[in-house]
Amino acid sequence: MNFPSIIPLLLALTLAPLLPGIINRTKALFAGRRGQPFLQTYFDLWKLLHKGEVYSRTTTWLFRAGPMLGLAAVLMAAALVPLGNFPALIAFPADFFLFACLLGLMRFFTVLSALDTGSSFEGMGASREVFFSALAEPALLVALATLARQAGNLSLSAIFTQVSGAHWFAAGPVMALVLIALMIVLLAENSRIPVDDPNTHLELTMIHEVMVLDHGGPDFAFILYGAALKLWVLTALVVGMIVPDTGAIGLNLVLSVGGMFLLAVIVGVVESTMARLRLLIVPQLLVGAGALAAMAFLLGLNK
Partner 1 sequence: MTLLLIALAVLLLGAVAVLLLSGSRRNFSWLAAAFVLLAAVSGCIPAIQVLAGGPALQFRHPWPVPFGEFFIQLDALSAWFLVPMLLLSALCAIYGVGYLRSSVKKCSMGPVWFFYCLLVLGMTLVLLARNAVLFLSAWELMAVASFFLVTFEHERESVRNAGWIYLVATHLGTGFLLVFFILMGRETGSMDFTVWAEKGIHTPELAGIFFLLAVVGFGTKAGFMPFHVWLPEAHPAAPSHVSALMSGAMIKLGIYGLMRALTFLGAPSIWWGWLLLCLGLASGVLGIVFALAQHDLKRLLAYSSVENIGLITAGLGLGLLGVSYHQPLISILGFGGALLHVLNHSIFKGLLFLAAGSVAHATGTRDTNRLGGLLKKMPWTGALFLIGSVAICGLPPLNGFVSEFALAGASLKAITVNPADAAMAGLLALVCIGLIGGLAAVTFAKAFGTVFLGEPRQPVEAPHEAGMAMKIPMLILAAGCVAIAFGAVWLVDWIAPIAGQLSGLEPERVSAVLQSPALVLTTVSICGLALVILFAAIALLRCALLTGRTVGTADTWGCGYARPSARIQYTASSFVQPVTTLFRWLLGAHRQLQRPEGFFPPKASLTTETPDLTHEELFRPGFLKINWGIAKLRWMQQGHVQLYVLYIAITLIVLLAWKFR
Site for partner 1 in 112-171 (CB under 8 A): 112, 115-121, 123-124, 126-128, 130-131, 133-138, 140-142, 145, 148-149, 152-154
Q: Which stretch binds partner 1 (CB under 8 A): 11-19, 53-61, 166-174, 190-198?
A: 53-61
Q: Which of 168, 303, 178 is nearest to 243 (CA)?
A: 168
Cβ proximity to partner 1, 120 vs 199, nearer residue: 120
* Count of C-beta atoms within a 10 Å radius of residue 180: 16
How far, in Å, CA of 95 to CA of 252, rounded?
23
In sequence order, the 6+-apart residues with CB closer than 8 A to the CB of 172 are none
Neighbour count for residue 201 (Cβ, 10 Å):
8
Question: How many Å apart are CA 175 and CA 191, to the nearest integer?
Answer: 24
By CB under 8 A, the residues from 253 to 282 that bind partner 1 are: 279
Q: Pick the closest to residue 298 from 162, 173, 158, 182 (CA basis).
A: 173
Round to whole Å and give the CA distance between 189 and 136.
8
Q: Which stretch in 94-102, 180-188, 229-237, 238-246 sits in contact with partner 1 by CB under 8 A? A: 94-102
Establish if 57 lies at the interface with partner 1 (CB under 8 A). yes
Interface with partner 1 includes 289 (CB under 8 A)? no
Residue of the chain from 40, 56, 164, 272 that contacts partner 1 (CB under 8 A): 56
Q: Is 30 in the site for partner 1 (CB under 8 A)?
A: no
- The span of 38-46, 190-198, 234-242, 289-297 binding partner 1 (CB under 8 A) equals 289-297
Among 32, 52, 247, 250, binds partner 1 (CB under 8 A): 52
Residues between 185 and 244 that touch partner 1 (CB under 8 A): 203, 213-214, 217-219, 222
CA–CA dist 260, 240 (Å, integer): 9
Contact call for residue 173 and partner 1 (CB under 8 A) = no
Report, in Å, the least distance between residue 7 CB and partner 1: 19
CA distance 74 to 225: 10
